[in-house]
Amino acid sequence: MRTRRSRSLPRSRRIGSTSNIRTRLFSDVLRNNGNRFTLSNFPRRTVSTPTSEGRKPIIEREEPVPPVKPDLTVENVDLNISTNSKEHHTNEYSISEEGRGLIVRRGQTFDITVEVNRDYDVKKDDVKLVFLAGDNPSPTKGTRVSLILSDKDTKKEWGAWILKNEKKRLSIRINTPPTCFVGIWKLQIETIVKSDNKTIVFDMCHDQNIYLLFNPWCKDDQVYLHEQDLLNEYILNDKGRIYVGNQKSMNGRKWNFGQFEKDILDCAMYLLDNNVSLWSTRGDPVKMARKISALANGSDEYGVLEGNWSGDYEGGKSPLHWVGSIAILQEYYKTKETVCYGQCWVFSGITTTLCRTLGIPARSVTNFASAHDCDGSISIDNHFDSTGDSLEELNDDSVWNFHVWNDVWMARPDLPKGYGGWQAIDATPQEASNGIYQCGPAPLAAIKTGEVYLPFDTPFVFAEVNADRVFWQMTETGDLKNIGLQKHSIGKHISTHLPTGKQLGNWETFCYDRYREDVTNQYKHPEGSNEERAAVMRANQESTKKGIYHEGKAMDVQFELLEKEAAPYGKDFEIILKISNNSDEIRTLSGCICTSTMYYTGVPAKRVKSLAIENEKIAANKSKELILKVTFDEYYSKLVDQCHMKMSCMCTILETKHTYVDQDTFRLIKPELKIKAPATGKVGEKMKAEVSFTNPLPCALTSSELTVEGTGLTKNQVLLQSIVPSNQTFMTTVEIIPTKAGLRELIVSFNSKELEMVDGSCEIKISE
């Protein structure tokens, strides 16, 4: 709804002064409702009524002073949404498509058209544009900006000028600075007429919002990104993959980021409006990225998503069932309550969405064998008793099979030169930073070199990718003995989605996904190189536990702990300990091999089986294999989410008193969900897709459901399914009606009580 006001100003007042035009004396003097002027709150004169006893008034009444009718009024304002949104790469937003508002990027001009009631005279007429942000716009806070039209093309600052004067139609170009606050702005237009002894002002507040975003296409914006292929991926791509699993067996979960969909940008703005009280923060992507890492989780400040790693998801949705960010953010925006539940890849998915919708280049990044350092030691400490059993009460640190966070691209003017580019942020609530569950941005350049003193939270992220594992054994006297150090077990195959358009990668034994880009070299130097060891030593100088590095005597017996082969879920598997005696004497071993189920965060669940090693003789210069066999019936009832397993071994060589200790993880392989759908389709025409997979378990699948989603193809669908018998093929058909043209991806996920995260996807080319 547009509101119009007209008011008269003394000629002596200066036209260009905001304070003069906005004085309380002249506010709301006259309101224009449509074409009908009404009187409201303008100066009045008092009229006295005499009494029989004299001239003293006993009754007073007020008569309004007639207003001055405005000579120049605004009839219509066109924000040119279609043209501007294409120029600003915002035409995919649902807000733009529906014409509900104008979305532009800072540091770049946009054009509007203003229609007035008579020919515009540049000699006696002025147009003033006032941009307002927040509940209490203020010139001193930068949330109220007034622009008198100029004939100059301003750069790097607010400005407006007339491109074309077509009598009653003005084409106006507006420029915003590349440091402008990101948020929702309102536009108020004032026409000013100078005639005779007075100046008449008319103003109108436009009813459509103007959304101002970061601009990675602008060289002067802190988030500037120079390659179009990277912009296409890290800003414009609304789908992708988030990598999960472990370092030996990973896969890319298809994820629907959906940053342009209905309510997503409005949700991001709502989060900022209700949690970022300082508007100056809104212009700084470093502060904004840090804030987003806090707002994405519900641990503080009424954030979006609540984390849950318990395995009990009553009262919410299992993290394994989400296939995209859209349903989560739409639910949050609708209810204004934290959504249940998420784990690291879900937190990363919605963080990517929030950053991209606001204009910050972002990617989801997965680190396999990811360390969680709880005490700032920049090492991962594992404790055992004298028999080899893990002392869980001392093991605060952990190694996650995988952990997903985000990288955001920006300059870092708050740091010395050379630390711009990718910055790590993490929305998963692991450790508090400054009293809030937030993490980053930490420069990848500083992480790689071990310069952990640079902000923000760089020691924590460094430990995630490059900590050393230290094994401690508690002796019978209660002392802790350092029995082992693993220098190269943390931070493997750091992965993100390959930018669309770049050459696909190679097939690899640990990941049959050619859309994966390995970014390990952006986080760390090659394992074992002088540069990598120097980075670890440099970081250790800031550690809370220094001096853990010392060279022990080399063992003359070599060990290797491994899974015999990748085991499909539903089948038996074997764990092998290979032992090689490189000495010229017999060696005697005592210890154990064991396997247990585990959460992907490294937390043990239940022990499955163990094999005792008692006085095992290894002949001189000979090798031997010890095998632990595990059947489906032995592990099935003890599994937790995602079918992760841990194998561990501790052996003592009796003759030399050397101790070998090792831990490793693996994952039981799930079947792939197959989708058969037409390669092409048309907007508005119904399509069908056939979905199938074979149940690999010796038991039926119950409480089954199918989640279907795809930007531009279908809204989120959750379809209940019937029981799937043992070793039988599940098959069903889903219907979709495309709403957008382009190359679209259909994402489908099957979940049941016995088997979860059976995923698949297919691409469909949609035409108008």
519 shares a domain with 401? yes
Spatial distance between the Cα atoms of 298 and 271, rounded to a whole number of angstroms: 12
**pLDDT exceeds cutoff 70 at 168:** yes
Spatial distance between the Cα atoms of 710 and 258, rounded to a whole number of angstroms: 9
What is the predicted pLDDT for the residue at 51? Answer: 46
| 251 assigned to some structural domain | yes
Of 513, 540, 567, the position where a domain reaches its end is 540
CATH, residue 586: 2.60.40.10
130 SS3 class: strand
User: What average pLDDT score do residues 462-471 get?
Assistant: 94
What is the predicted pLDDT for the residue at 39? Answer: 30
- For 610, counting Cβ atoms within 10 Å of its Cβ (0-12 exposed, 13-18 middle, 19+ buried), the class is middle
**pLDDT exceeds cutoff 50 at 642:** yes
What does DSSP say about strands 468-474 and 480-486: parallel, antiparallel, or unpaired? antiparallel
Are the CB atoms for 509 and 669 separated by under 8 Å?
A: no
Closest CA to 618 of 649, 646, 647, 577: 577
| 41 assigned to some structural domain | no
What does DSSP say about strands 398-410 and 362-372: parallel, antiparallel, or unpaired? antiparallel
Residue ranges making up the domain that contains 698? 674-767
CATH, residue 521: 3.90.260.10
What is the predicted pLDDT for the residue at 550? Answer: 55
Spatial distance between the Cα atoms of 670 and 537, rounded to a whole number of angstroms: 40
382 shares a domain with 296? yes
What is the predicted pLDDT for the residue at 194? Answer: 79
**pLDDT exceeds cutoff 70 at 159:** yes
| 86 assigned to some structural domain | yes
185 shares a domain with 78? yes
What is the predicted pLDDT for the residue at 500? Answer: 84
**Residue 532 assigned as binding residue:** yes
Of 632, 667, 702, the position where a domain reaches its end is 667
**pLDDT exceeds cutoff 60 at 90:** yes
User: What average pLDDT score do residues 479-507 get?
Assistant: 88
| 63 assigned to some structural domain | no
List pLDDT tens digits, range 293-349. 999 999 987 899 999 999 999 999 999 999 999 999 999 999 999 999 999 999 999
List pLDDT tens digits, range 216-245. 999 999 999 999 999 999 999 999 999 999
CA 292, 297, 298, 304 torsion-angle sign: positive
Percent of the chain, pLDDT > 70? 88
Which residue has 């924590």 as its token pair? Answer: 460
DSSP classification of residue 636: G
Among 66-80, 442-456, 603-617, 751-765, the minimum mean pLDDT is found in 66-80
CA 47, 49, 53, 55 torsion-angle sign: positive
Contacts of 715 (CB under 8 A, 6+ apart): 709
Which residue has 């970081």 as its token pair? Answer: 539
List pLDDT tens digits, range 736-753. 999 999 999 999 999 999
627 shares a domain with 489? no
List pLDDT tens digits, range 619-629. 999 999 999 99
583 shares a domain with 448? no
**pLDDT exceeds cutoff 60 at 151:** yes
| 491 assigned to some structural domain | yes
Q: For residue 362, which amino acid is it? A: A
pLDDT band at 68 (very low <50, low <70, confident <90, very high): low
User: What average pLDDT score do residues 143-155 get?
Assistant: 84
Spatial distance between the Cα atoms of 424 and 470, rounded to a whole number of angstroms: 25
**Residue 756 assigned as binding residue:** no
Spatial distance between the Cα atoms of 551 and 179, rounded to a whole number of angstroms: 52
For the annotated catalytic residues, the residue numbers are 344, 403, 426
Radius of gyration of the chain (CA): 33
pLDDT band at 567 (very low <50, low <70, confident <90, very high): confident
254 shares a domain with 169? no
**pLDDT exceeds cutoff 80 at 11:** no
**pLDDT exceeds cutoff 70 at 457:** yes
What is the predicted pLDDT for the residue at 443? Answer: 98
569 shares a domain with 524? no
Q: Kindly tell me the number of DSSP H helices and DSSP E strands found in the chain.
A: 13, 43
741 shares a domain with 684? yes
651 shares a domain with 741? no
Spatial distance between the Cα atoms of 446 and 265, rounded to a whole number of angstroms: 32
Are the CB atoms for 424 and 444 separated by under 8 Å?
A: yes
User: What average pLDDT score do residues 6-13 get?
Assistant: 35
State the chain's mean pLDDT as an integer. 88
607 shares a domain with 710? no
What is the predicted pLDDT for the residue at 391? Answer: 87
For the chain, how many residues are written?
768
Closest CA to 247 of 518, 444, 579: 518
| 546 assigned to some structural domain | no
| 33 assigned to some structural domain | no
255 shares a domain with 345? yes
List pLDDT tens digits, range 644-683. 999 999 999 999 989 999 989 999 999 999 999 999 999 9
Domain count across the chain: 4
**Residue 414 assigned as binding residue:** no
**pLDDT exceeds cutoff 50 at 691:** yes
What is the predicted pLDDT for the residue at 19? Answer: 31
678 shares a domain with 663? no
**Residue 468 assigned as binding residue:** yes
Spatial distance between the Cα atoms of 563 and 85, rounded to a whole number of angstroms: 54
User: What average pLDDT score do residues 103-115 get?
Assistant: 98
42 SS3 class: coil
| 43 assigned to some structural domain | no
Q: Give long-range contacts, CB 8 A cutoff, 24+ apart: 76-83.
A: 76/114, 76/115, 77/112, 77/113, 77/114, 77/115, 77/187, 77/189, 77/204, 77/206, 78/112, 78/113, 78/114, 78/115, 79/112, 79/187, 79/206, 79/208, 79/210, 80/110, 80/111, 80/112, 80/113, 83/111
